[in-house]
Structure 1
Amino acid sequence: MRFPLLQPRWIGIHLAAVVVAVSCFGLGYWQYVRAQEPSREVITNPLQDLDEAARLTAVLTPGEYMPDDDANRAVTATGTYDADARRLAPALSPDGDEGYYVVFPLVTGDGVAVAVNRGWIRAEDIDRVDELPAPPEGKVTVTGWLRPPQTAEDGYVPLTVPKGQIDRISPAVLVNEWPYRLYEGYLTMAEQDPADPPAAASAPHTEVIPPPSPPTEIIWNWRSLSYAAQWVIFGIAAIVFWISLMRRENGSGRPGGEAPEDRVGDEESDAQRSAAAAS
C-alpha cells in the first residue's frame, strides 16, 4: 500500500497516541495550577472583623469536623472558665521568641467546652505562671477568632512536656486532659466581657496575639509540581514512542533508510545480474 500509515489500524494508533499525549499534558497543566495553590495546612481566609462575630454554636457542633472555610472566622462563646484546668502550649511570638499560649476550657454547656487561647507569655516567665490573674468567675462572653487544631509543625516542639503543659492545642490532645466534649477548633481570644481582674504590677502578663494574616504570595506545592513534571514526561514519551512506531513502519529506521519493498527489489535485481553474468 502506498500510504501504510493511513491503514485502519494505524488510524487507531494515531488517535490513541493523540489522546494519551493530550491527556498527559492536560493532567500536567492541572497539577501545575494546583502547585500554585496552598496546601491544606495553609490558612488563606483573612481575619474576620470582630463586629461580624457569630455565635459559636451557630458555626460548629461539638465533636464534629471543622471546615477549612471557618478558620479565622470571628465568633463569640459564652460560658464559665474551668480555672483549675489551665494548660500551657509552646508557641512562638511573631518576632520568633519562644513562649507559651495559656489555654483554658470555657464550659459552654453540659459537659461541653471550647479551648480558649487567652494569650502568650514568654518562656522565661514559665516559673511565675501561677502569678497570672485567674480568669473571671461566673458567666463570661469571649469574642475572638476560630482556629483549626494545631499540628505538630505549628510553633516549636519542646524536648519534654511537663505536667500542666501540652505539645499543641488540639482536641486530640486535650481530650486526655479535660473531662469535656470539645469543639474541633479553638478560640483565640480578642475581647472578653467581663474583663480579667487587674494583675499586680510585678506579675507576668499575657499578650494577646491575633492569628497571622494569610499569605498573599504564591506558595508552591512541590509535590503537585513534581506530579506536573511527571505527566509532561509521560506525554513526551508517548509522542516519542508514536514517532518511533511510524519510522519503523516506513522503514526509515533500517540501515540506509530503505523501505522493505526497496530492499526486496534490490535483491531481485542483484539475482538477475548474477544469472546473466553466469550465462
Structure 2
Amino acid sequence: MRSWRFLVSRRWVGFALVVALLAAGAWWLGEWQFSRLEERQLRNDVIQRNEAAPPAPVAEVVPADGELDAEDEWRTVTATGTYAAEETVIVRYRTRDGASGVEVVVPLVLDDGTAVLVDRGWLATDNRAATPDIAPRPPAGEVSITGWARRDSSGESTVVSDRSTRAISSEAIGEALDRDVLDGFVALRTEDPAPDEDLARTELPELDDGPHFFYGLQWWFFGLLALFGFGYLAWDERRGPRTRRSQRAEHAPVDREHHAAHE
C-alpha cells in the first residue's frame, strides 16, 4: 500500500483546492438559504401580527413627513378621500395564474390635500398595448377604503414613463404626477361606494416557510458529498493498482465456482 505523499503532488493539491471551493460554496449557499428562511419567518410574524391588529387611519401608520416602517407593512389601514382618476398609473408585467396583466394605481386625495397611492387591483391585459386609459374608472366622489399598507419598491424598475412603471414607488410616482403623496401605498381590500367594475384584489402572501429549509440541507449534503468523494478517491489511490488487482484475484475463484454451479 502506498504512502499519502501523493497528496502533495500538483494534481492532488489542485484537486483538493477545487473540492474545498465546492464544499465552501455549498456551505455558503446552505447558510444563505437558512438566512432566507429566517427572513421569511420574521416577515410572516409581522404579517400575522398586523393582520390581527384593528384597522388604523393611514395617517397614523404613515406620517406625512416620514416613511412607512417595516414593522407596519401589511397593517390594515383606512382612508377617505377622492380618487384622482385622471392620474392613474399602471404597473406592467404582473402575471397571475399564467395570464399577463397590470396593476392599477390611483392617487386618493385626502382632506388635507395630500394623497395616498392605492393599488386598486389587477387587470388582465396585453402589457404591450396597455395604457392607463384602459383601467376601469374608480368610484366618483368621496370614497372610503380599507387596505394593506405596503412599502415602496426600489431600483430602476420604479422609473415612471407615460404613467406606466414596473414597480410601485410613491416617490417616483409622486414626482411623475407632480403630487405630494404619502410614503408607500395601500393594497386595496374594500371600497365604499363599490365601483362599477371590480379589479382582482391583492392577496396576502403565503405564510408558510417555503422551500428554504430543504434547499439549505441539500446544499450542505452536496458539500459533504464532495468531501466524501475526495476522501474515497484519495483512499483508493493509496491502495494502488496492485492491491486492487489482488483483491479482484481473490474473488475470481469464488466467482468461477459460483458460475460453474449454475451451469
Query: Quick check: TM above 0.5?
Result: yes
Q: What's the CA shift for 1:188?
A: 0.5
d(CA) in 1 for partners of 2:55 and 2:47? 14
d(CA) in 1 for partners of 2:188 and 2:91? 15
Q: Which has the higher helix share?
A: 2
Cross-structure match for 2:75:
73
d(CA) in 2 for partners of 1:207 and 1:117? 11
The answer on whether the counterparts of 2:101 and 2:125 sit within 8 Å (CA) in structure 1 is yes
Cross-structure match for 1:130:
133
Q: Deviations over 1:185-229 (max 9, x none)?
A: 100111001111x24xxxxx6211224234424748x9xxxxxxx
Where in structure 2 are there 5+ consecutive unaligned residues? Answer: 1-30, 217-263
d(CA) in 1 for partners of 2:47 and 2:93? 21
Q: What's the CA shift for 1:107?
A: 0.7
Cross-structure match for 2:209:
216
d(CA) in 2 for partners of 1:50 and 1:123? 34
Question: Which one of the candidate residues 121, 124, 139 is aligned to 2:123?
Answer: 121
The answer on whether the counterparts of 2:106 and 2:118 sit within 8 Å (CA) in structure 1 is yes
Q: Structure 1's 179 and 111: CA in aligned 2 closer, same or farther, altered over 3 A?
A: farther
d(CA) in 2 for partners of 1:129 and 1:34? 39
Q: Name the aligned partner's letter for residue 106 of structure 2.
A: F
Larger-gyration structure (1/2): 1
The answer on whether the counterparts of 2:131 and 2:164 sit within 8 Å (CA) in structure 1 is no
Q: SS of the residue aligned with 2:175? A: coil
Where in structure 1 are there 5+ consecutive unaligned residues? Answer: 1-30, 200-204, 223-279
Q: Deviations over 1:114-143 (max 9, x none)?
A: 100011112327548635431122211111
What is the total number of aligned residue pairs between the two structures? Answer: 185
The answer on whether the counterparts of 2:79 and 2:145 sit within 8 Å (CA) in structure 1 is yes
Q: Structure 1's 145 and 91: CA in aligned 2 closer, same or farther, altered over 3 A?
A: farther
Q: SS of the residue aligned with 1:62? A: coil
Question: Which one of the candidate residues 101, 104, 112 is aligned to 1:99?
Answer: 101
The answer on whether the counterparts of 1:111 and 1:180 sit within 8 Å (CA) in structure 2 is no
Note if 1:144 corresponds to 2:137.
no
d(CA) in 2 for partners of 1:212 and 1:35? 15
The answer on whether the counterparts of 1:166 and 1:173 sit within 8 Å (CA) in structure 2 is no
Q: Deviations over 1:155-179 (max 9, x none)?
A: xx69x97512123111231122223
Q: RMSD of the alignment, in Å? A: 3.8
What's the TM-score, normalizing by structure 1?
Answer: 0.55
The answer on whether the counterparts of 1:43 and 1:68 sit within 8 Å (CA) in structure 2 is no
Q: Name the aligned partner's letter for residue 145 of structure 1.
A: W
Cross-structure match for 1:90:
92
Q: What percentage of aligned pairs have identical amino acids?
A: 27
d(CA) in 1 for partners of 2:71 and 2:58? 14
Note if 1:179 corresponds to 2:178.
yes
Q: What's the CA shift for 1:49?
A: 4.4
Note if 1:37 corresponds to 2:38.
yes
Note if 1:206 corresponds to 2:199.
yes
Q: Structure 1's 178 and 132: CA in aligned 2 closer, same or farther, altered over 3 A?
A: closer
